[in-house]
Amino acid sequence: KYTLRDHMLAHKGDKCIQCPICLAKFAKKHNVVRHMQQTHPDGKLYKSELCRCDLCPYKTVNKDALEKHMEIHMKGKEHTCDVCSYVASRPSLMVRHMRSHTGDKPYKCEMCTFVTAWQGTLERHVLKKHCQL
């Protein structure tokens, strides 16, 4: 079973194992093996696995790379908060900011009752309270 701890280990560069085909990251070798059996049974990358930009021909296998690429299209376009004077350069930043007004806490710890509005706060909580790395 893939756990939050496995996910957190995947973010540690020294414990990270990448799929040689799509570069997805895993904390454990058996997770890479299972991923390759399920996702790339014949050892190939298919077009359906690519993340595509809706605004230009850019393609990548990495969702984070696509998000970074999208900043090119958003440059110069500002998103202003209707509640306060906050201005964001990307829609995703505005969504995150709005949690400070709504009190929404979508990130929940799988190991205890801790909840937070911020992914980074949850990651720090898990590392500090639940991981013996």
Res 115: pLDDT: 94
pTM above 0.85, yes or no: no
Average pLDDT, the chain: 77
Res 10: pLDDT: 58
CATH, range 79-129? 3.30.160.60
> What residues have CB less than 8 Å from 53, skipping those under 6 apart?
59, 66, 69, 70, 73
Res 133: pLDDT: 45
Residues of the chain with pLDDT under 50: 14, 133
Residue 107 host element (H or E):
strand 107-108
Residue spans of the domains in the chain: they are 1-44, 79-129
Res 67: pLDDT: 79
